[in-house]
């Protein structure tokens, strides 16, 4: 993978993360409103702090998921690099073998041509 592909993957992950965070924030705000109604004994500021605490915990969970995704992508990238290196080596070896084979074929053609000429010259004598 090249730098452009990595950028695309990072952009996709970031976009999806934004959507998930917005969804989590929406659900959390609904839960906060519901719990606020239930906990009328708590101070409004305490309720707000609790809500932010829950949001931070949910964001931590999302960050942990991102770390796992990054680790998996890095592992896959390392495997792909090894595969590309192996294929490049095989390509170089095959190209070298082809070059040697072509040289050998040309030498055989030259030898055959020389033998024909010698044969023709002996037959014509």
Q: Are residues 47 and 35 in contact, defined by beta-carbon separation less than 8 angstroms?
A: yes
On whether the pTM is more than 0.85, the answer is no
Determine the average pLDDT of the residues in 54-80: 95
Could you write out the DSSP letters of every residue in the chain? --HHHHHHHHHHHHHHHHHHHHHHHHHHHHHHHHHHHH-TTS-HHHHHHHHHHHHHHHHHHHHHHHHHHHHHHHHHHHHHHHHHHHHHHHHHHHHHHHHHHHHHHHHHHHHHHHHHHHHHHHHT-
Using one digit for the tens of pLDDT, what is the confidence trace for 8-47?
777 788 777 778 787 888 887 887 776 666 655 567 888 8
What integer pLDDT is reported at residue 93 of this predicted model?
Answer: 97
In the chain, the number of structural domains is 1
Please give the residue range of the domain that contains residue 39: 3-123
């Amino acid at each position: 993978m090249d730098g452009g592909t990595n950028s695309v993957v990072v952009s996709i992950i970031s976009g999806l993360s934004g959507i998930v965070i917005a969804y989590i924030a929406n659900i959390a705000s609904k839960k906060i409103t519901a719990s606020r109604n239930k906990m009328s004994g708590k101070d409004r500021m305490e309720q707000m702090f609790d809500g932010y605490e829950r949001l931070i915990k949910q964001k931590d969970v999302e960050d942990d998921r991102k770390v796992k995704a990054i680790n998996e992508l890095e592992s896959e990238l390392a495997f792909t690099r090894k595969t590309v290196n192996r294929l490049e080596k095989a390509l170089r070896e095959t190209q070298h073998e082809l070059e040697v084979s072509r040289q050998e074929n040309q030498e055989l053609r030259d030898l055959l041509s020389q033998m024909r000429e010698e044969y023709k010259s002996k037959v014509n004598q």
